[in-house]
Amino acid sequence: MRDMFHEELEGINTSLLGMAAMVKEALDQACVSLTTANLGVAEQVIAADENIDDTQHDLDARIINLMARQQPVASDLRAVVTALRISADLERMGDLAHHIAKLARMRYPNKAVPAELETIIQDMSKSNERIMEKMVTVLQYRDLTRALEIEQDDDEMDRLHRLLISTLLGDDWAYGIETAIDMTLLGRYFERFADHAVSISHRVYFLVTGEYAKKG
Amino acid sequence: MRDMFHEELEGINTSLLGMAAMVKEALDQACVSLTTANLGVAEQVIAADENIDDTQHDLDARIINLMARQQPVASDLRAVVTALRISADLERMGDLAHHIAKLARMRYPNKAVPAELETIIQDMSKSNERIMEKMVTVLQYRDLTRALEIEQDDDEMDRLHRLLISTLLGDDWAYGIETAIDMTLLGRYFERFADHAVSISHRVYFLVTGEYAKKG
């Protein structure tokens, strides 16, 4: 039978998973609002960011409360500190999904993404979706194989990001400065989103193995 | 006489101040490398980021060690958790200074910032320097007046950021897409740097008062 501390820690990890699901949904919907110029969906993502922030707030309060009451040491303490850090990463990922939805809203009724970039942006969205799915598996099952795979998915994200920038810089770029600025920021949001997912996966890897993840 | 816990916490706060000084220096020098196209200075900032990362690593290990040995509760626990969060903010600010220096290096021997934007970029640098100075005062002396002032400095940063973007979008923008992309990212780095400083100041404010800082 698990003791009180580990039961509560399990509850916290379940809440972290719930928060990750909220962030994943926010990203998915932000990408939908972006590629279909759907104002209603964009507004939902923007409004839902407050729920993510509230969830982090509650979760952090529970984590600190658990620390105060149970006074964990060694690996238990590290697990609790890791939970705090993961909730901070997830909160920031929620902000980035919110930024993407705001870009969709700002350009409505037009599409924020010009036709020429639709494929790259969709590939970046899919790349982040894949990263998020694996990150959730890493969080839920401490799956270290997936943790190493995420490194490669992140390399693919970096490659797409470079492709995006080189397209903006091509001689045949016909969409002007404003769209180039939008796409520069969008590329940065996607890339940072992936960085935080990688960071979460690293934290879990380190917690389980005591070593830093190396590229597979 | 202070007990062991508070002595160690004071040591940790002193190290946080040292880390803040490293980050401030990195930002100052990154701005110098940017505005003077000085490759040597840019390389120094890029190399120094590793020291900031190592400092965070050591500091976090000390904080977790203090938690494990002394098992703080209530306000002591909150102070320790806040120290962990502040070190994470500072580490990220170091990364942003590093990004700025990398931009200077990438465009060397040219200046990354075109003549037309030099004033805005210098104003943004100065704005961040002011924010950093106040943030250090907030960290060192728990100075709540300065914590509230930072809110206004951050509003000024946002104003400069909007001015930067509107200059890029002006009909007379003559520097092409590449420079527009550089300046979009630079603006974002400056703005994020300020956001983290504001976040640190909020954390201290909350720690001291138990309330969230409101704009003065």
CB contact under 8 A, B185 and A181: no
CB contact under 8 A, A177 and B168: yes
Would you state the pLDDT for residue B213? 81
Residue of chain B whose Cα is closest to the Cα of A176: B177
- Cβ neighbors of A53 (< 8 A, separation 6 or more) are A91, A94
Q: What distance in Å separates the CA atoms of residue A82 and residue A90, rounded to the nearest whole number? A: 12
Which one of B64, B74, B188 has the shortest CB-CB distance to A77?
Answer: B64
Residue of chain B whose Cα is closest to the Cα of A175: B177
Q: What distance in Å separates the CA atoms of residue A69 and residue A119, rounded to the nearest whole number? A: 51
Q: What distance in Å separates the CA atoms of residue B2 and residue A213, rounded to the nearest whole number? A: 41
Q: What distance in Å separates the CA atoms of residue B131 and residue B194, rounded to the nearest whole number? A: 7
Torsion-angle region of A170 (φ positive above 0: left; ψ -120 to 50: alpha; else: beta): beta
- Residues B215 and B148 sit within 8 Å (Cβ to Cβ): yes
- Residues A28 and A95 sit within 8 Å (Cβ to Cβ): no
Q: Is A85 on the interface with B (CB under 8 A)?
A: yes
Q: Is B174 on the interface with A (CB under 8 A)?
A: no
Torsion-angle region of A37 (φ positive above 0: left; ψ -120 to 50: alpha; else: beta): left
Residue of chain A whose Cα is closest to the Cα of B164: A181
Residue B14 tokens, joined: 């002193």
Q: Is A163 on the interface with B (CB under 8 A)?
A: no
* Chain CA centroid to CA B183, Å: 19
Would you state the pLDDT for residue A107? 98
Which one of A67, A81, A184 has the shortest CB-CB distance to B181?
Answer: A184
Q: What distance in Å separates the CA atoms of residue A130 and residue A199, rounded to the nearest whole number? A: 15
Q: What is the mean pLDDT of chain B?
A: 96
What sign does the CA torsion over A93, A94, A98, A100 have? positive
Q: What distance in Å separates the CA atoms of residue A145 and residue A150, rounded to the nearest whole number? A: 9
Would you state the pLDDT for residue B212? 86
Reduced to 3 states, what is the DSSP secondary structure of residue A141? helix
**CA dist list (Å): B104 to A183, B50, B99, B182:** 22, 18, 9, 10
Would you state the pLDDT for residue A213? 81
Q: What is the CATH number of domain B4-209?
A: 1.20.58.220
Identify the DSSP state of B216: -
pLDDT digit of tens for each residue in chain B (216 aa)? Answer: 569 999 999 999 999 999 999 999 999 999 999 999 999 999 999 999 999 999 999 999 999 999 999 999 999 999 999 999 999 999 999 999 999 999 999 999 999 999 999 999 999 999 999 999 999 999 999 999 999 999 999 999 999 999 999 999 999 999 999 999 999 999 999 999 999 999 999 999 999 999 888 754
Q: Which residues of chain A have pLDDT under 70?
A: 1-2, 215-216
Q: What distance in Å separates the CA atoms of residue B137 and residue B135, rounded to the nearest whole number? A: 5
Q: Give φ, ψ of B205 to 5 degrees.
A: -55, -45
Q: Is A17 on the interface with B (CB under 8 A)?
A: no
**CA dist list (Å): A127 to A25, A26, A191:** 15, 15, 10
| Number of Cβ within a 10 Å radius of residue A69 | 12
Would you state the pLDDT for residue A216? 47
The crossing angle, in degrees rounded to 10, of helices A39-70 and A4-36 is 160
Residue A65 tokens, joined: 């409360």
Single pTM value for the model: 0.96
Domain ranges of chain B: 4-209
Would you state the pLDDT for residue B216? 47
**CA dist list (Å): A51 to A135, A136, A175:** 21, 19, 36
Would you state the pLDDT for residue B215? 59
